Structure 1
Amino acid sequence: MIKMKPLVIPFFYESFSLYRSRGYSVEDCIELDKDETIDAITQSLRKNGFEVVPVGDMKELVHCIARGEHEKWDLAFSISEGMHGVGREAQIPGLLEAYQIPHVFSDAATLSLCLDKGKTKMVLEHMGIPTAPFAVVPPSWSIEKGISQILEQSRHTADLKQMPLFIKPACEGSSKGIYSFSKVESIEDLEQGVQKLQTRFPGQSILIEKYLAGREYTTSILGSGDSARVIGTVHHDWRGVAPPPGTETDYSAKSQSDVGFYNFHNKNKLLEDPVDRMADKEDSSEVQEVERLALETWRKLECCDVGRVDVRCGLDGRPYVLEVSGLYMMHWITSSMVLAGGYRPPSRDFA
């Protein structure tokens, strides 16, 4: 019997600890992978019979190509988030595609689109997929121009004149750039908040959305095209969660649907106070509609292999797509995909 040679799998990632050692802040590195995640994926691929080549980040890929090492590669596996530019998640896939090296997960064009939440919402709206009313503040905007001009240019002007609104950088993930001031109650707060985000994220558009006061879900999806299917859906339940630092909001006095959202400060502190709960579609028509909408969105954007769709409901009871991620965090404890798949890490209480 002829023994088949194992496929050679180059593995791409950015190490959180490595970039922290280079002087980047925790917030700069929040999307990067911990060494334990990188090691676990490497070992899992090897246990499944693949020859894994841990490469690292974009610069390491360039060096490998320059040395001709890429000619031995069969199929690339990338969880690279990138570090610079609004299309950073697509940089390694784009270079792989240029050298005709096949890779798993979505293609460079799709990853680049999905990272830009403003452009994604424009495409979703064109396709008839419900998304919250929005406006995009370009990097060239300054507070001297006033924010009303931006709101007037949106096709959703009437909706955006009603508070509260929500602001965040258009091209970030892991709640990076979302703070306690992201939910705004006045035009003055809106202008000041946008200016703060522009200072923190120069050269990046800022997204203004109508704040959705209903329940929030994350639906995990496996597969591509017609074969794509929902793994499961997580409900982010904010009841009893402490308020973000620097706020005096009495969360216990409000309904869960009116107060909660992930921000940079609280997202990584919720392991001790988890908000994720499995959503049972058998008992909820709302969850069924969320999953139907998520799968439709995934297919229409031509996402591949695995990822997630974040959905939040409005006071009208309708679900609206918040964002789509074709590059899913794979940490065995913190990833909602892990919970959606039915795994219960021993260090978290999901009861």
Structure 2
Amino acid sequence: MSATALPPPRFADPAVFGRVAVLMGGTSSEREVSLNSGSNVLEALRARGIDAQPVDGIPALVEALAQERFDRVFNILHGGDGENGVVQGLLQGLGVPYTGPGVLGSALTMDKIRTKLLWIAAGLPTARFVRIPAGGDLAAAVRELGLPVFVKPSCEGSSVGVFPIRSEDELAPALEFAAGYEGELLAEQMLTGGEYTVGILGEVALPSIRIVPASGWYDYHAKYIAEDTQYLCPGLQGGEEAQIRALALEGFRAAGCSGWGRVDVMRHADGRFMLMEVNTAPGMTSHSLVPKAAAQLGIGFEELCWRILEQTV
């Protein structure tokens, strides 16, 4: 199948899905975004006649599954154990179908450093970076790469803890954050040729989106709050659009992912596309990007949720 063609939905009867748990909330730094996404998914599934119920966090899910209250799980638990392979391993072990990539792809792509190492080994392009172990010398890593750079945690999402550093004067907030952060960080080359993202739905790469934040970079505010961020979809035309979609799909698969997700891509000033990271439980809020891309192919939000859930049958 081509990168742009979507097959027709596989099912028409909502009863085929049985009882669906919409897993949301949890305890990660992305809890509020997850609750927002989850409520939207829940409403969409119910609008299509699906017996869907909200479940807040993994302990509540374990209790519900022990009582055999659900047949499958729509996982929209952003960050933490929702995306790092923990809930995927739980559900796989219990034989409960779930949306999104499996244990390996989820665990790997939650870790930006390991994902980039895999892409490099596979010969796929990604921005230059330096690993900063817990307690490591952030300033030395920044100097090694050369300004401008981003400093970010290896295992967080939604731009939590991300610092753009264009001059030595902007180092202080990142140093303060690093001093109190227990995980690994990375300093990453700041690319200036444009920011893109490509949604993946099954075997299809959706139209790219070019993200143009008014503030200059795509931080938490630009993602979830601001109304002046521009989303250009498709983000490219002709051969370049085909190229970025093919690269995103290849990067997604190389990282052990299947089902649905989103691949973020940056463009170098010289025109080259660089894989940045994979999101295995993308946002489904009013500002979210996979729904925007699906809409370009005539797939509305309710149908998108249906198609994602179809992957569990």
TM-score range, shorter chain: 0.7 to 0.9
Classify the secondary structure of the residue corresponding to 1:235. Answer: strand
Q: Tell me which residue corresponds to 2:176.
A: 196
Q: Tell me which residue corresponds to 1:229.
A: 204
Letter in 1 for 2:204: R
- Give the alignment of 1:119-134 within 5 angstroms: 119-134=114-129
- Distance apart, 1:203 and its partner CA: 1.5
Check if 1:296 corresponds to 2:231.
no
Check if 1:216 corresponds to 2:195.
yes
Measured in 1, the distance between the counterparts of 2:76 and 2:122 equals 28
Contact 1:294–1:309 (CA<8 Å) still a contact in 2?
Answer: yes
* TM-score where L is the length of structure 2: 0.79
Deviation sequence 1:224-254 (CA, Å, 0-9, x none): xxxx11221111124xx2x4xxxxxxxxxxx
Classify the secondary structure of the residue corresponding to 1:213. Answer: coil
Q: Tell me which residue corresponds to 1:262.
A: 218
Check if 1:310 corresponds to 2:292.
no
Classify the secondary structure of the residue corresponding to 2:265. Answer: strand
Q: Which has the higher contact order (CA 8 A, sep 6+)?
A: 2
Structure 1 residues 96, 220: closer, same or farther in 2, change over 3 A? same
Check if 1:60 corresponds to 2:42.
no
Q: Which segment is superposed worse, 292-301 or 54-63? A: 54-63
Check if 1:324 corresponds to 2:278.
yes
Q: Tell me which residue corresponds to 1:336.
A: 289
Measured in 2, the distance between the counterparts of 1:125 and 1:196 equals 30
Measured in 2, the distance between the counterparts of 1:73 and 1:32 equals 20
Measured in 1, the distance between the counterparts of 2:30 and 2:39 equals 22
Classify the secondary structure of the residue corresponding to 1:197. Answer: helix
Structure 1 residues 39, 7: closer, same or farther in 2, change over 3 A? same
- Distance apart, 1:196 and its partner CA: 2.1
Measured in 2, the distance between the counterparts of 1:319 and 1:277 equals 17
Q: Tell me which residue corresponds to 1:75.
A: 72
Contact 2:78–2:282 (CA<8 Å) still a contact in 1?
Answer: no
- Distance apart, 1:263 and its partner CA: 1.6
Measured in 1, the distance between the counterparts of 2:229 and 2:217 equals 13
Structure 1 residues 28, 308: closer, same or farther in 2, change over 3 A? closer
**1:11 counterpart (1, 22, 26):** 22
Q: Tell me which residue corresponds to 1:251.
A: none
Identity of aligned residues (%): 26
Provide structure 1 residue ranges, at least 5 long, that are not aligned to the other structure: 244-259, 346-351
Contact 1:12–1:78 (CA<8 Å) still a contact in 2?
Answer: yes
- Distance apart, 1:300 and its partner CA: 1.6
Contact 1:177–1:264 (CA<8 Å) still a contact in 2?
Answer: no
Check if 1:94 corresponds to 2:92.
no
Classify the secondary structure of the residue corresponding to 2:127. Answer: coil
Q: Indicate the RMSD between aligned Cα atoms, in angstroms.
A: 2.9
Q: Tell me which residue corresponds to 1:163.
A: 147
Structure 1 residues 5, 291: closer, same or farther in 2, change over 3 A? closer
Contact 1:31–1:173 (CA<8 Å) still a contact in 2?
Answer: no
Contact 2:30–2:158 (CA<8 Å) still a contact in 1?
Answer: no
Q: Tell me which residue corresponds to 2:7.
A: none
* TM-score where L is the length of structure 1: 0.72
Measured in 1, the distance between the counterparts of 2:295 and 2:47 equals 22
Contact 1:221–1:232 (CA<8 Å) still a contact in 2?
Answer: no
Check if 1:32 corresponds to 2:34.
yes
Classify the secondary structure of the residue corresponding to 2:159. Answer: coil
- Distance apart, 1:268 and its partner CA: 3.1
Measured in 2, the distance between the counterparts of 1:118 and 1:63 equals 34
Letter in 2 for 1:310: D
Structure 1 residues 5, 167: closer, same or farther in 2, change over 3 A? closer
Contact 2:135–2:179 (CA<8 Å) still a contact in 1?
Answer: no
Letter in 1 for 2:266: R
Provide structure 2 residue ranges, at least 5 long, that are not aligned to the other structure: 1-14, 301-313
Q: Tell me which residue corresponds to 2:165.
A: 183
Measured in 1, the distance between the counterparts of 2:154 and 2:20 equals 32
